[in-house]
Amino acid sequence: MTHDSTPEAGDPGPAPDGDPVLAPDTEPAEPAEPADEPIGRRVLRLRTDRRLTQRQVAEPAYTPAYISTLEAGRVRPSEAALRHVAERLGVTYEELTTGQPAHLATRLRLRLTEAQRGLTTGAAEEAAVLYEELRAEAERHGLAAEQAAAELGLGECALETGELPDAHRHFEAAEALLVAAGAPLPQRAPVVRARALAHYLSGELRYACYLLESALDELNTSGLHDPDALLLLYTATIAPYMDMGAHARAAQAAELALSLAPQAGDPLLVAKMHRSVARTLLAEGRAAEADVSLSKAAELYQRLQIRTELAHCHWMRGYVHAQNGRLVDAESELRTARDMLSAKRAVLYTTQVEVELADVLRRRGSSDEAAALLRALLGDLNPERGAVHAAGAHRLLGIIAEESGAAGAPEGSGPLTAAAEAAEEHYVTALSLLERAGAAGDLADLCRLLGDLYRRTGRIDAALDTYRTGLGHRAAPGTTTLGPAPAEPPV
């Protein structure tokens, strides 16, 4: 080993004139490569933090002069030299060369999984705190994939609490990070699905379908046939298709999702698929099959201990029972879903369940309780936040007003009663919300209700116009709002 007179203090001063004395396996001096933090500065920082001298870092393979030159940025060290320095500094080679703590990405991914677990089993606000910490740490160390995952988690927390503008912002940030990092579409599929869901809940059904169909087209036409990504996206299309009255497309998406399920590697995706497919089965009058599909979903959610999704499963089972006329069972399932979601402070989803619960209460003869529930929750719903369910609440309040008996003047009689006026106001408000959202299936039914009210109160021309509007939506469901169907995968 060679020695020289370089001081052993931690002074990084300029390297001595001339080339440093190198061990046989080192490379000649080259200009240092530019970086956020030059490698030499990082060596200096780590060495001074540990109160080590240049000699202690250098020995036995290198000289203190070489370490001084490295720290001054006047040499490009070989991998062997960096591995030696890393060992002497007590860090990994990766930490020394990247500036990131050892196993940082792995640790962040584990904590992201913990945050996701907290979101599905606990309160969204608590999970958001952890996601925010992880987002900041990932950003600090330049880990784009982990930062995008944290942004996605923050958006999902915002969806749970009903803060849709925040959800949009986080989802767009996540997608921008992944696109900038060159992530392939299968890796971006969860963000695409999340963006579409946020637009769907905001009442932008057509744009939600556009996002999902564009991604499906790209996956299927470019050969990126990732089963998990396809299953996720096809499942996500079902709800907006159904609300838009595009039942044929919803059924096709459900069929493709079912065919993809055996290839999927994530049981949670399969459970979500069964939950969504149940809705298309019910629309086709296959109630028994819908119940079987929901039972499979509930079993998977129970096994995975995911309370949020299990609550959604109870919600869908309540819907199935209500459509099947089993109102006692429907009320029980919907109350269970409402209590589970309320306990998690999932405000928007809770109010949506309460709209369906109010319908069941009305059909069971508890109209006053249903009306009180609907009026209380309308403050949490608006055109940009649960538009379809806000319309559903106004529709139900209109029906309750008509059923109250105060609107019972003979058909075609004189001035409107207070109840008829209230019913008309609720129906018109609901019609405006549904037209804005493009929910063609519900629009047809609402036009029938409003047309009947106009006819009973003697406004025949208005009734005919309203019926024609409803028939237009019923005649060609979905065709006025959707373009060609996306390409199919080679299943």
pLDDT digits 0-9 by tens, 303-330: 766 777 788 888 888 888 888 888 999 9
Calpha distance 194→9 (Å, rounded):
56
Least Cα distance to 441 among 400, 484, 470 occurs for 470
What local confidence, expressed as pLDDT, does residue 122 receive?
Answer: 65
Give percent above pLDDT 70 in the chain.
Answer: 85
Please classify residue 170 by burial: count the beta carbons closer than 10 Å to its beta carbon, then call 0-12 exposed, 13-18 middle and 19+ buried. buried
Ranked by mean pLDDT, the top range of 12-21, 190-199, 477-486 is 190-199
- Helix spans in 382-417 (H): 387-403
pLDDT value for 483? 59
Q: What is the pLDDT of residue 335?
A: 94
Give the helix/strand (H/E) hosting 271: helix 267-283
Q: Each residue of 269-303: pLDDT tens digit?
A: 888 888 888 888 888 888 888 888 888 888 877 77
In the structure, what pLDDT confidence band is assigned to residue 365 with cuts at 50, 70 and 90? very high
- The total number of residues shown for the chain amounts to 491
Task: Write out the two tokens for 279.
Answer: 């809705």
At residue 157, does pLDDT exceed 80? Answer: yes
Average pLDDT over residues 54-73: 90
Mean pLDDT of the chain: 81
pLDDT digits (tens, 9 = 90+) for 37-51: 788 888 998 899 889
Task: Give the mean pLDDT of 115-128.
Answer: 79
Q: If 0-12 CB within 10 Å is exposed, 13-18 middle and 19+ buried, where does residue 198 land? A: buried
Mean per-residue pLDDT, 188-193: 96
Amino acid symbol at 77: P
| Amino acid 395: pLDDT | 92
More confident position, 18 or 267: 267
Q: How far apart are CA 472 and CA 477, in angstroms?
A: 9
Tell me: pLDDT of 2 over 50: no
pLDDT at 7 over 70: no
pLDDT band at 479 (very low <50, low <70, confident <90, very high): very low
DSSP 379: G
Question: What integer pLDDT is reported at residue 473 of this predicted model?
Answer: 57
Question: Confidence class of residue 101 from pLDDT cuts 50, 70 and 90?
Answer: low
Residue range 77-89, pLDDT digits in tens: 888 899 999 888 8
pLDDT, residue 475, reads: 42
Task: Report whether pLDDT(5) > 80.
Answer: no
426-464: pLDDT as tens digits: 999 998 888 888 787 788 888 889 999 999 888 999 989
- Give the pLDDT confidence score for residue 276 in this predicted structure: 87
Task: Give which of 466, 393, 469, 481 is closest to 429, Cα–Cα.
Answer: 393
Residue 114 has a pLDDT of 84
